[in-house]
Chain A
Amino acid sequence: MHKIILAGESSILIYFGSKIDNSLPKNIANFANELNTQFSDLIIDSIPSYTSLLVNYDLSKISYLEFSAEVQNLLENFKFSDSVQTYDLIHIPVNYSFETGLDLEKLLAEKDLSLDEFIDIHSSQEYLVHAIGFSPVFAFLGQVDKLIQAPRLATPRIKIPAGSVGIADSQTAVYPSESSGGWNIIGRTPLDLSLNNPESLNKFKVGDRVKFYPITHDEFSRYGE
């Protein structure tokens, strides 16, 4: 089931499956923890994503063949779970409005939904953190209900405000800091997820669950007071 391939002179990539699957993120995160515990002196960094784990190791201490064999051995003895398990449940307040959700009006028209219906669909569900990337603290969350899925914009925006919540196909995410990007923006969180906030870096990890809850414009403005 799993497969190890070469990724660079001091890195390997481990595949745990070939399709996106809700049981994978926690298994991959658990395996990464196990690997880090067993080989803390050899491992420099590891990057989980959807179906895989990239591992950078110290070639001064172990060769590619030796390290791959160690990982292979650990994979064979590792207890994978088929059920969907997760770590923490993280609650994120979102103001869904035409002011903060730059694409919301367009989406409501396309999907033939009222604002309340849209909010209910996006916020009633728990999402799973499948990967973190694109930029720091940017967590890819799945799966968005088919009723509100929308493809990336043909022309990405140059500037999206920090905290913007977006949808791209079956995924949703919060832009932690101001950046460019092509996701459909449906609202904004008042949480500071940027690197200016020292707690942001550990806000999400692969395998966490995330639930959004709606807040009013007033609550958004007064958040944190």
Chain B
Amino acid sequence: MSNSNHNAGADILLDIRGLKTYFHLDEGTVRAVDGVDFTVPRGTTIGIVGESGCGKSVTAFSILQLVEKPGRIEEGSIVLNTGGQNRVDIAALDHDSEELRQIRGKDIGMIFQEPMTSLSMMYTVGFQMTEAIRLHMDVEKDEARDRAIEMLQAVGIPRPEQRFDAYPFELSGGMRQRVMIAMALSCDPMLLIADEPTTALDVTTQAQILELMQQLQEEFGMAIMLITHDLGVVAEMCSEVVVMYLGEVVEQADVDTIFHNPQHPYTQALLESIPRLGHSHEGRLNPILGSVPDPYHRPSGCPFHPRCTQIITGRCETVHPEISRLDPRHTVRCLLHEDPHG
């Protein structure tokens, strides 16, 4: 994808081009993220969906350069536009640099599936929050405390002054998730990366957290990058969707197109395979053949071809499809939609 600044550049908060993150293991190289491009417009919610091993989480970790050895960002750029002409390529920053530390937590906040990834059992919620705030904002202790309590209030934690002195283990799963969101948002980031934020939660708690995220987005105006395997969550939350399979973006479009006019056979199959509330009378489920291949044995050609029902025999096994643009906001990586102009 070369000259495709179809979205007027100013609206783009994050522009990822040709991102490749590989893991070099004894058993071989795992190409966890293998040439991913997409953009995150300011103030919107973009969903990254896919099954296990599709590279959605590694993509998120790459954005903050949190990929740990033996993983490594091999190629690509991750340009963050913090406003005006202020562009930083995060992929080019030294992973130890002050600049990167400022971006993490200040410009980009992140929440994880397991809140304990970012909360420590050893310190009170308040201590951890004020530390984070003072690391990124030039404020006094008292101000940081006020800010933290304000944030706890904003994420709907009852009696925030008391919870400020609580230890994370004293809180329920849903409350911890709220604390983590409060922490991620405490420095007013422009982008919130949420990696399966509700997967470990029950439906009713999930509903609370999703509601909260929508409400906070209205209030603070940050963009959200929502990483999930749950198509229901995507449909409820996102305005744009990126579908990933085995480290590649196979389809990208606005949410209505993805759910009502999907073009990639994988997206179509995925949507057909899930049971839907109120639709169970419509017959048997239509599962996708086989299972996600193991990362050491990536299929040749189009990585989806062994499971694809619309395979073009003789081509899909050998030709790795390029991205075709069906319309300005809709791209797909499939030989069925090959760009006639090359």
A binds B: no
